[in-house]
Amino acid sequence: MAYTSVVQAETVCAQLDDPEWLILDARFTLDDEAWGRREHARGHIPGAHYADLATDLAGPIVAGKTGRRPLPAFDTWRETLSAWGVTPDTQVVVYDSSGGMMAAARVWWMLRWAGHDAVAVLDGGLQRWLALGYPIDTFVAPRERTEYRHAERSELQADIHLVEQHRLDADWALFDSRSKAGYHGEGVYQDPVRGHIAGARLADRADTLGADGRFRSPEALRAHYTQLFGDVDPSRVIFYCGSGVTAAQNLVALAHAGLGDAKHYIGSWSEWILDPARPIAR
């Protein structure tokens, strides 16, 4: 059985010795980009390799052209997956300390972008793992290199032209995944312009989680998204955020709800605002 959206800590703990399971630690913080790697070195789920948002999960920023966390070149990402030993039979599990939002969901989406569906976010993240009394370790076992060959699933992305084309289209829906404050241009901002893409509605990625930090049930999430989308099919829904990282949380939750795939606008707000002619609202 492949896990393709969310997986429980109990299941992962039972598979720690299975060489066909790969665990990735994606802990990260914007305030100190080296923090996650240091924490991984201090202790991680046994066998976990570190997936660094700043290096493994993002490509070079091109001034005036890209957002803050552009995707790496696809061949570069395939090389990373090869170095991690990913095969068609590998079950990948990814976790962070934010319920998936920083940056486990980004890893999940990037694996699926690369054609690998057997990837799941650890429900409740590292906090639930520790609360259950499960082990942590400092050792990282090497994995045998593979040659990852899957093709890019470009249909999972929305580029800026698609956003421009459909942001006001009644047959499509564009959602900002930041908080209500961020959507309205309030609170802490990483970008020099405040507000949201004109025509976008709000789908706070934090609404995917319950008070315990775990994903809401598939039934609850299905009702949540059905209310947000109305008659719009998920294939014509686009999610974005500030830099193209936390919006992936909505995409994991959508899959967990059994509603299929929406599109991810990786450039997000940080790319949209590079041209002052693009309309914004607050």
Q: Can you name the residues that pair with 281 across neighbouring β-strands? A: 196
**What phi and psi, each to the nearest 5 degrees, are found at residue 201?**
-105, 175
Cβ contact 27:39 at 8 Å? yes
What one-letter code names the amino acid at 7? V
The domain 6-131 is placed in CATH, from the list 3.40.640.10, 3.40.250.10, 3.40.50.720, 3.40.50.11060, at 3.40.250.10
Report how far residue 111's alpha carbon sits from residue 117's, in angstroms, rounded to the nearest whole number: 7
List the catalytic residues.
241
Give the residue from 242, 255, 249, 163 showing the smallest Cα distance to 200.
Answer: 163
Spatial separation of the C-alpha atoms in residues 77 and 55, rounded to whole Å: 10
Long-range Cβ contact pairs of 144-150 (< 8 A, separation 24 or more): 144/85, 145/82, 145/83, 145/85, 146/81, 146/82, 146/85, 146/86, 146/87, 147/82, 148/78, 148/79, 148/81, 148/82, 148/86, 148/87, 148/114, 149/78, 150/78, 150/88, 150/114, 150/115, 150/116
Q: Return the domain boundaries, the chain.
A: 6-131, 157-281
CA distance 103 to 26: 5
Task: Write out the two tokens for 177.
Answer: 């995944």
Cβ-proximal residues to 86 (8 Å cutoff; 6+ apart), any chain: 22, 92, 111, 116, 146, 148
Q: 157-281: which CATH number, 3.40.250.10, 3.90.79.10, 1.20.140.10, 3.40.640.10?
A: 3.40.250.10
Give, for all 282 residues of the chain, the pLDDT tens digit: 899 999 999 999 999 999 999 999 999 999 999 999 999 999 999 999 999 999 999 999 999 999 999 999 999 999 999 999 999 999 999 999 999 999 999 999 999 999 999 999 999 999 999 999 999 999 999 999 999 999 999 999 999 999 999 999 999 999 999 999 999 999 999 999 999 999 999 999 999 999 999 999 999 999 999 999 999 999 999 999 999 999 999 999 999 999 999 999 999 999 999 999 999 999
| Close Cβ partners of 276 (under 8 Å, ≥ 6 residues apart) | none
With tokens 């709000």, the residue in question is 202
How many other CB atoms sit within 10 Å of the CB of residue 44? Answer: 23
pLDDT at position 94? 98
Question: According to the model, what pLDDT value does residue 125 have?
Answer: 98
What does the pLDDT read at residue 241? 98
Q: What is the pLDDT of residue 99?
A: 94
Cα dihedral value 158, 164, 185, 202, nearest 10: -60
Could you check whether 6-131 and 157-281 share the same CATH topology? Answer: yes
